[in-house]
Every structure is written in structure tokens, then in C-alpha cells.
Chains A and B, each alone.
Chain A
Amino acid sequence: MKIVKIPKKKLDLFASILRQHWEIHAPVEQNGRYAFKPLTHWSEARLHYNRTILPPKKYFMPPRETMFHYREGKGYVPAQEELDQRLILFGVHPCDIYAINILDEVFGGKYNDPYFQTRRKNIGIIGVDCTPDEHCFCRSMRADTVEKGFDLFFTDLGEEYMTLVGTSLGDDMVLMAAPLFEPITAADIQKYKQVSSEKRQAFSLDVEIHDLPEIFELEYKSEIWDELGDQCLSCGSCSMVCPTCYCYDVADTVELGSKAGDRVRTWDSCLFHTHALVAGGENFREKRSSRIKNRFYHKQRGMVAEYGRPSCVGCGRCIVGCPVHIDIVQVINRLRGEDHANRG
């Protein structure tokens, strides 16, 4: 892998070069939290941030997306107006990149989702490493580092960012701004190892995922699920903020006074009482407890069967964003019969 570095004070220059070709979106502060937004000035970007309210999935599968326009006589015509926007997400954390890699698998395979894939092709990703806070458990979920899914990846070495070049597009970005980048030195490598070790030590949350599928099977009838069902508001917040929740609903809208309209898909949540409700009234997950169990089960056990790993990346968003403090780490530790593991 090609590895270079860029002095921090030259980042704004790098951004201005990139901006000639792409719109740059980066984490921006929003009332004490962060959100990916288009930048007007590089100074708005916050590369040291804990987590954005919504994960970058909002760029690859927007909360509402028109799939088709239908017109009488023409049928369903694919909507592609919004697909061609080329932009760069600057400052994506490893867990979020990992999550996008998981979505790649879900929206790929035998039935390729052309909307997701087109956006994926048109959006560049510059990753940045981070320091875990008290809600991060990406290390437990093996998502604290990524080796693919980014064009460039920045690691903070103090005065400069060490830059991994992940794709040929990433290399083009570096070449576009060639004078800003420098080769790395032996001292940089030492510094990188030190940073990496410090990050490892910084995790305060830990959860063991080894044999989790078996634990979920064994605890399928656990009373924990009923307790969680009583607690859960089924407000959908956890699903919206989850970087790997990809449930969506599809509906046709219609224009006033015509027979034309759009087919639109919208983020959905398996916690909604309508999620498994079929026409005719049968609801396969009527109880809230069975819905919240399904959410955890699908993420931590189902995805292992289907894609070889849990789809949770340990970003902590669902913990921060649950109004009634349902905490996935606590749930797993309780299922395992262990107390809240806290090494901090």
C-alpha cells in the first residue's frame, strides 16, 4: 500500500484542490454534536469528533429516495436525477467505513442495488482515525481498523497526517496535490505504532462477540427480551442512527389530479409494529419484545450466518441515541451473564 504524509497546516490547501473537482462534506459541529455537511470553509470541518448524529449511510441510501417515476403509458422510469452528485466525505471514522463495507455486501450480490452502487461509485471517502469515547466499542466488534472501503485514510501523528492510499482514485487525489505530500520516515512509523497502541488502551467499553450466535440461540426465550420490550419506545431512533440498519419501506406517491407519481423508498425500522404486518392483518412480530429481539438477533446473529460477521460496528450511536437508555453492550453482557464490562 502506498503510504505518504501531509502536514496538518497544509490540509486546507489540499481541501481547496479537491474542491475543484468535488463537493466536500465533513463533520461539522451542530449544538455540541456533529453532522456530515457540505463545507463552505475548510475551517468548519472537525476532524477530531466523537460521532456524527447520522452515519454516512445517509449519502448512500438517503432517508427518502425516489426510485421510479411512473407515467401512464410509460410505466416505471428509473429516477436518476440525484444519483450523479460527485462528492467527497472527508473525515469518516473506521467503524463507519466498516459499516459501508457491510452495506456493500447487502446491496451487492445477486441482486445489485443500482441506486446504492451508483452513489457508492460517485462518493469518495477520506477516512480519519479517532480516539474512542465512553460509548465506543468498535474494537470489540473488530471494526476499529479498516483495510478497504476508503480512498485515503488519515492517521493523526501530531504535526501531520499519515496517509494510506486505498484506491487509484485516492492516488489521483494525492497526485493532484503532489507538492503537499511527503514520504514517511522511520520516526513516523514509530509514532504511528505509538498512536495505535494509545488508541488500543483508550477503550473503556468491551464486549465479547466470540460465540455470540450460540449465546443468542440459547437465550432466545430469555426474560431480558420482555424487559426490553416494556422499556423500548419503538421510536425508531436506534435504527435511523445505525450505520448498518438498512431496512426500507417502499410506497407509491401520486400527483394531485393525475395518474402519475413516484415510487419512493424510505428508511424503516424493524421496531415498528407495522414492520412484519401483512395485508390481511397477520402480524408476525406483534409484540414489542419480539421486535427488539429481532433487531438484536438479526444484527448480532443473523448477519453472522449470512455475511460471516455481526453487522454491529460498535459506533455507539444507538447507545447515545436511545431515549430509554437501552444499551447494546449491556444487553450482550447480560445475555452472556457478565456484568457491564468496564475496564476504564
Chain B
Amino acid sequence: MLIADEKTVKTPVLADNPYQPHLARIVRIFKMVPDNHLFTLRFEDQWTAERFKHRPGQFMMLSVPGAGEAPISISSSPTRPGVLELCVRRVGRVTDALYRMQTNDVVGLRGPYGNGFPIETLIGNDLLIVAGGLGMAPLRSLVWWALDHRDKFKKITLMYGAKNPAEMLYRDELVSLADRSDMQCLLIVDRDPTGQWKHHVGLLPTLFDHADINPATTYAAVCGPPVVYKYILQRLLALNFSKDRILMSLERRMKCGVGKCSHCSVGYKYTCIHGPIFTYWDAINLPELV
């Protein structure tokens, strides 16, 4: 948890306020995909910026004054500190307001929250990362964390599917990963209206035909819309994946991010503190999770 900056806190009572948003400046807005821009943010306070640490898979609470607060997963890897990258889908009141902002405008940030990926457990294994559509946003942090710790993993496979090349998040970055020989980066689009796409065309699950996955030594991290979970889980289970080697990043309504407000409750867990990363075994046990 972050320590509140002195300027805004007067009494010791509220000095350790988990709801305190910290000012952060928008340093770059990259219009990656229509209605899915990548915002690069930096904490105004140097002390806070330097001490900020997160794990892949965690999220931030982003405040736009007047519009409110929303949970946004962190897209940048902890191995590349200094700034935070948030891939924000324009989808509601807060994100609408954020899209009206420009570089150098100031927003509020608090976090990081959530469990993040169990990186200690992942180390030493093969890693399979499967993303569908916007599901790439929370997984991108894990991709770069793993690549920046390449020696800690055996095989790394990334499968990412989008509707068409124009809607592919981090397209140029991922296309360049496809050239790397120390990992397998499989990209697929449902359709290619451009005729320029040099990678796979078809449905995401068909990428499994191009990869050699050993379920005994692999952890799978999956994120995407419900249909992605449905078909990818089928594939993984058909490969005999153990249910706790399948990790999923989930989305819920959140107001506090710290296990108080109850909006993100699923069964007896809170997505904000027990998640957003759940195993498939959790999903079976928690009704309504997927």
C-alpha cells in the first residue's frame, strides 16, 4: 500500500488512508485501438513514484475528479518501473471523462490492489499465456515480466486472438515478439480485411494446433471475454491440465478495491483482494465466478 503524501494529510488519523488517491500526471496517450487507449502515468510525488511496486496481474483504482473511480488493470511490467501503463477501455462515466483529458492533465491513482499472478509459483515452469480481445490488457504485464526474467522460465508461449488486426492491442509490439526465438508468439485474427496480416487467421483455440504444450510443466494464464474462457478452458482440460495450473484474470464492479464495499463479491470471495487472479479450481468452487 502506498503511503499518503504529506501535503494532503493533516492528521495522523487519516495518514494511512487506503482510499487516498495520489496525483498522477498523464505523460502519454497512445491511441492503440479506437476506444482502447494506452495511458502512461507518472505519480506527481517523486517519493511515491520511486516506491511504487506491483505484481503482474494487479490493478489500480483510477480517479477522474468529478467522474469518480474505476478499477483498471496494470499493463506495464514491474521490471520497467518509473511510469505506469494502463490500457483503458472507454466504456463508462470515469473512462469517458479520462478520454476527454490530455497529456499533462492530472488524475488520481491508488493501489496496486489484488493478488496478482502467483509469480513465485510460476517460476521454473513453462508459461502459456492466452488472451482474447481486450484480455491482453492485464496479461501484457505478465508477458513482459516473464520475458525480462527469461532465465526463470522454460518455455514461454503466447496466444493472442483479436477480431481483426486493427483491434489487436499492442499489435506492433506483439508482432515484433513473433520474431523472437526464445518464445513462441502466436497471433490470430478472426478476419483480415486488410490482406496485410502475416500471421494466423481463424479462431483463437485453433492456435493450440500450432503449439506443443506439456500440461505437467505448464501454468496457463487466461484472460478474455466469457466465450474465450469457455473454449480455452475446454482446450486446456482436454490437454489434461490440472485445475490449479489454470489461472484466470476476472473483472467485477469495484468501488473500494480493498475488500470493504462488497460490490465485487463472488460467493464468499472478493475479486479485489482474493482475485482478480483465480484458478480454475476457484472458479468451480465459487458459483457465478465465470
B16 x A302 contact (CB < 8 A)? no
Given A76-B108, A112-B16, A279 contacting B259 (CB threshold 8 A): no
Verify if A344 is at the interface (C-beta below 8 Å from B): no
Grouping DSSP codes into helix (H, G, I), strand (E, B) and loop, the A interface class, with mixed when no group exceeds half, is: mixed
Most buried by A among B94, B263, B264: B263
- Total interface residues in chain A, CB < 8 Å: 54
Grouping DSSP codes into helix (H, G, I), strand (E, B) and loop, the B interface class, with mixed when no group exceeds half, is: loop
Contact with B along A273-316 (1 / 0, CB 8 A): 00111111010110000100010011001111110000000000
CA distance A297 to B11 in the complex (A): 39
A278 x B17 contact (CB < 8 A)? no
Beyond A83-B13, A250-B69, A278-B251, 6 additional contacts (C-beta under 8 Å) are: A74-B7, A80-B14, A248-B260, A275-B263, A278-B253, A302-B269
B268 x A220 contact (CB < 8 A)? no
Task: Report B251 CB to chain A, min CB distance, Å.
Answer: 6
CA distance A246 to B258 in the complex (A): 13
Verify if A134 is at the interface (C-beta below 8 Å from B): no
Measured between beta carbons, the chain B residues less than 8 angstroms from A83 are 13
CB-contacts of B204-262 with A (<8 A) = 251-253, 255-256, 258-262
Measured between beta carbons, the chain A residues less than 8 angstroms from B65 are 70, 72, 75-76, 252, 259, 261
Given A114-B16, A280-B89, A251 contacting B68 (CB threshold 8 A): yes
B261 x A279 contact (CB < 8 A)? no
Verify if B95 is at the interface (C-beta below 8 Å from A): yes
Residues of B within 8 A of A (CB): 1, 4, 7-11, 13-14, 16-23, 63, 65-70, 89, 91-95, 106, 108, 251-253, 255-256, 258-269, 273, 287-288
The 8 Å CB contact of A298, one of B4, B10, B68, B268, is: B268
Closest residue of chain A to B95, judged by CB?
Answer: A279
A279 x B93 contact (CB < 8 A)? yes
Given A76-B63, A259-B66, A276 contacting B1 (CB threshold 8 A): no
Measured between beta carbons, the chain B residues less than 8 angstroms from A304 are 268
Verify if A87 is at the interface (C-beta below 8 Å from B): no
Task: Report B213 CB to chain A, min CB distance, Å.
Answer: 30
Contact with B along A167-179 (1 / 0, CB 8 A): 0000000000000
B1 x A111 contact (CB < 8 A)? yes
B262 x A250 contact (CB < 8 A)? no
Given A78-B8, A250-B255, A302 contacting B1 (CB threshold 8 A): no
The 8 Å CB contact of B288, one of A270, A280, A290, is: A290
Task: Report A133 CB to chain B, min CB distance, Å.
Answer: 29
B18 x A113 contact (CB < 8 A)? yes
Task: Report B219 CB to chain A, min CB distance, Å.
Answer: 25
CA distance A251 to B256 in the complex (A): 11
The 8 Å CB contact of A248, one of B69, B93, B108, B255, is: B255
CA distance A249 to B260 in the complex (A): 10
The 8 Å CB contact of A78, one of B14, B67, B69, B259, is: B14
CA distance A138 to B183 in the complex (A): 60
Verify if A123 is at the interface (C-beta below 8 Å from B): no
A246 x B260 contact (CB < 8 A)? yes
Those 8 A-B pairs whose CB atoms lie nearest each other, nearest first: A279-B92, A302-B268, A111-B258, A247-B262, A305-B268, A78-B14, A111-B18, A280-B91
